Amino acid sequence: MVTAEKAYGKINLSIDIVGKMEDGYHAMRMVMQSVSLCDDVTVRVTPGEGIAVKTNLRYLPNDARNIAARAAAVFYEATGITGCRTEIDIKKRIPVGAGLGGGSADGAAVLRALNRLHNTPLTAKKLESLAEKIGSDVPFCVRGGTALAEGRGEKLTEVSPLPDCFILICKPIFSISTPELFSRIQWDKIQLRPDTEGILRALHEGSLSGVARRMYNVFEDVLTKERDDVETIRDTLLDYHAQGAVMTGTGSAVFGLFDDENAAKGAFSALKATYPECYLVTPVRKLDV
Q: Which helix (DSSP H) or strand (DSSP E) does residue 286 occupy?
A: none
Band of pLDDT at residue 42, cut at 50, 70 and 90: very high
Judge whether 82 and 28 are in contact, CB under 8 Å.
Answer: no
Count of Cβ atoms closer than 10 Å to residue 114 Cβ: 28
Is the model's pLDDT at 289 over the cut of 90? no
- Alpha carbon of 69 to those of 51, 62, 63, 66, 93: distances in Å? 6, 8, 7, 5, 18
Instruction: Please give the model's pTM, rounded to 2 decimal places.
Output: 0.96
Give dist(CA 147, CA 116) in Å, integer. 24
171 is catalytic: no
Pick the catalytic residue: 10, 106, 171, 229? 10
Q: How high does pLDDT run on average in the chain?
A: 96
- Alpha carbon of 152 to those of 24, 49, 59, 70: distances in Å? 10, 33, 28, 19
What pLDDT is stored for residue 139 in this prediction? 97
What pLDDT is stored for residue 118 in this prediction? 96
Mean predicted confidence (pLDDT) in 94-119: 97
Question: What is the radius of gyration, based on Cα positions, of the chain?
Answer: 19
Read off the pLDDT of residues 46-88 as tens digits, 9 standing for 90 and up.
999 999 999 999 999 999 899 999 999 999 999 999 999 999 9
39 is catalytic: no
Half-sphere exposure of 22 (CA within 13 A, CB side): 0
Give dist(CA 248, CA 101) in Å, integer. 10
Indicate the SS3 state at residue 222.
helix
What pLDDT is stored for residue 24 in this prediction? 85
Give dist(CA 152, CA 30) in Å, integer. 10
CA angle at 101 for the pair 96 and 105, rounded to the nearest 5°: 110
Pick the catalytic residue: 16, 39, 106, 137? 137
Mean predicted confidence (pLDDT) in 235-246: 99
Is the model's pLDDT at 125 over the cut of 90? yes
Which domains does the chain carry? 2-158 (3.30.230.10), 166-281 (3.30.70.890)
Helix, strand, coil percent values for the chain (each to nearest 5): 35, 30, 35
Q: Output phi, psi for 269, to 5 deg.
A: -65, -40
Judge whether 150 and 136 are in contact, CB under 8 Å.
Answer: no
Q: Pseudo-torsion of CA 260, 263, 265, 271, nearest 10°?
A: -140
Band of pLDDT at residue 114, cut at 50, 70 and 90: very high
Read off the pLDDT of residues 186-234 as tens digits, 9 standing for 90 and up.
888 898 999 999 999 999 999 999 999 999 999 999 999 999 999 999 9
Judge whether 168 and 268 are in contact, CB under 8 Å.
Answer: yes
What pLDDT is stored for residue 23 in this prediction? 87
- Alpha carbon of 104 to those of 57, 61, 119, 163, 243: distances in Å? 16, 15, 23, 24, 28
Mean predicted confidence (pLDDT) in 103-110: 98
